[in-house]
Structure 1
Amino acid sequence: MSGQFFNECSLEWGKRGARNAASRGDIIIIVDVLSFSSTVVSALSKGAIIFPYPPNLDGNKYAKQIGAEYILGRSEAAQLGLPTLSPISFDYNNKNRKYVLTSLNGAFCTWIASDVPALLIGSLLNAANVAAVANKLSLEKKANITVVACGELWSDVKEHEDTLRPALEDYLGAGAILSYLNGKKSPDAEVSIGAFHFSKSNLGGIIWECESGRELRDRGFEEDVKHCSRLNVYQTVPILHKDYFINLDKDEEISN
């Protein structure tokens, strides 16, 4: 049909991938399953207002400027009973309260890719719904879609070594979202979809035993791993609006 738009769906990794997708003007879905993406989805489902902020800047100062609370590290905040990067730390007591959330991966990728037609937050928790919103936005804005698997960072990196550690949980989360997206898939996207379908019957077990899952369990955050491994349990679709996330349901009218 003349004039019909056919979108393409791609997979990228990490901060460089976020920058590449932003330079193309794509709609971007940030995926950081353990735990930035899952935390944003969970927090917004409870009515919290989340401002993403990169870890290389002074998030505490920024929080004071906008009248928000700065989210501390997992262990420190957990001891004080405050919301943390742990997604299960949010409940309805946090409704309508503003929080500044930093992370080495998801928040950083969000910051890098913020100037795009639309930036969404995806996870296993909201895979089908975030894909439904992205499909509508792609048609409305005539833009392709890139899913950015944020990955993790290697610790104790030596000279000449890469810092990005591809993360299995993000690959599976990206594959889940891509499986619900319309349009032509890149080869990388197709293979990640295959990995998701292969793993779908045992997502919880695989993520429990993957490197990131073991790291969190060793630190005492077993419940985070369980929570983030669930598929399609939230309707919540975070979309970046100016400098914070709002919840855009798949059935809501989408506007600029």
Structure 2
Amino acid sequence: MKRIEILLTPGQLNDELTLKDKNIIVIDVLRATTTITVSLANGAKEVIPTENIATAVRVAKGSKNSILCGERNGRVIDGFKLGNSPLEYTSEEIKDKALIFSTTNGTQAIMKSKFAKNCLLASFVNMSTVVDYVNALDEDFTIICSGKLNDFCLEDAVCAGMLLNKLSVGRNLELMDSEVAAMNLSNDLAMLMNVPSQEKVLRMLNISEHGRYLSQIGFEKDLEICSKIDSYPIIPLFRNGVIRLREQFEGDSDQRSKMKRVNIGIKREEKQKQSD
């Protein structure tokens, strides 16, 4: 690993093909990547991100055992069952369901990564698990901060900086201005507040522009969930238009490999019988 790039807003991307065959981490602390992580941890079968409401409705009509989920400007979309609050995504509500998901910022950034080699979803709640996985891959990565309406968001930049600080240990990475700025924001947060790490993150969310807005419209409790570092040690992966747990994708791959080996064995046996 030589390079970890940070895009502080999705607007820094020229087009989706810029990310083709790259390793991507998408961050939307408030709240999409946090909520998706919580939903998969609580038993959702998968999350299908969509760029707009019309597409979400169309996909839901063709999907069995699915739930329409999402928000615009922080509030649940009219006609949708769930919004974008992680507190809504209980096991009783979503277990074994496909979640058709559309949000103002997060799903837009995720969809920009549809041609990526790997696309991981990160936030404070799965920080260390993502770090361990990226360290194991040992390849270059691009971190995309979802921001708010293509503008800079403090919480996404701090999360990206914290990730990069952890990933840079023992490495001599090439850093540009965006990476240095994000790392310094994360370091400044650690030094300025003489309280435990989780409380520092919660205080930062409370003073952030987006955090203040969510509190104003009744989602103050979401900030506490979103601040809990490593509370959900799982990795959501976006692949082939669907977000699932990493283990689910790897299980599918193992099963395909197993079936391929079985088919090869059957063909060999048939060929042997014919020769006999």
TM-score bracket, normalised by the shorter chain, equals: 0.7 to 0.9
User: 2: CA distance between counterparts of 1:186 and 1:58?
Assistant: 38
Instruction: State the partner residue of 1:91.
Output: 90
Instruction: State the partner residue of 1:246.
Output: 244
1:176 equivalent in alignment to 2:159: no
Following TM superposition, by how much is the alpha carbon of 1:56 offset from its aligned partner in structure 2, in angstroms? 6.3
Instruction: State the partner residue of 1:189.
Output: 179
- Aligned to 1:114, the other structure's residue is in SS state coil
User: 2: CA distance between counterparts of 1:228 and 1:211?
Assistant: 15
Contact 1:21 / 1:28 at 8 angstroms: preserved in 2?
no
User: 2: CA distance between counterparts of 1:198 and 1:22?
Assistant: 35
Residues 211 and 126 (structure 1 numbering): CA distance in 2 closer, same or farther, change over 3 Å? Answer: same
Deviations 1:68-98 (A, max 9, x none): 2211536457999x43211111111212111
Deviations 1:173-223 (A, max 9, x none): 111222222551423223312211221442211211111011000000011
User: 2: CA distance between counterparts of 1:180 and 1:234?
Assistant: 18
After superposition, the CA RMSD in angstroms is 2.7
User: 1: CA distance between counterparts of 2:143 and 2:252?
Assistant: 20
Code of the aligned partner of 1:7 = K
Q: Percent identity?
A: 21
1:34 equivalent in alignment to 2:33: no
User: 2: CA distance between counterparts of 1:149 and 1:167?
Assistant: 8
Instruction: State the partner residue of 2:215.
Output: 217
TM (norm. structure 2) is: 0.76
Residues 96 and 43 (structure 1 numbering): CA distance in 2 closer, same or farther, change over 3 Å? Answer: same
1:232 equivalent in alignment to 2:230: yes
Extract unaligned runs of 5+ from structure 1.
1-5, 154-163
- Aligned to 1:7, the other structure's residue is in SS state coil
User: 2: CA distance between counterparts of 1:11 and 1:254?
Assistant: 31
Following TM superposition, by how much is the alpha carbon of 1:104 offset from its aligned partner in structure 2, in angstroms? 2.1
Higher normalized helix content (fraction of residues): 2
Following TM superposition, by how much is the alpha carbon of 1:26 offset from its aligned partner in structure 2, in angstroms? 2.1
Code of the aligned partner of 2:134 = A
1:65 equivalent in alignment to 2:62: yes
Q: What stretches of structure 1 move > 3 A for 4+ residues in a row?
A: 16-22, 72-80, 252-256
1:203 equivalent in alignment to 2:201: yes
- Aligned to 2:62, the other structure's residue is in SS state helix
Between the two proteins, the alignment pairs up a number of residues equal to 234
Residues 150 and 230 (structure 1 numbering): CA distance in 2 closer, same or farther, change over 3 Å? Answer: same
- Aligned to 1:165, the other structure's residue is in SS state coil
1:9 equivalent in alignment to 2:7: no
Contact 2:10 / 2:147 at 8 angstroms: preserved in 1?
no
Deviations 1:152-174 (A, max 9, x none): 02xxxxxxxxxx32000111111
Instruction: State the partner residue of 1:158.
Output: none
Code of the aligned partner of 1:232 = D
Residues 21 and 135 (structure 1 numbering): CA distance in 2 closer, same or farther, change over 3 Å? Answer: farther
Instruction: State the partner residue of 1:167.
Output: 153
Contact 1:15 / 1:105 at 8 angstroms: preserved in 2?
no
Contact 2:10 / 2:145 at 8 angstroms: preserved in 1?
no
Larger Rg belongs to: 2
User: 1: CA distance between counterparts of 2:252 and 2:117?
Assistant: 12
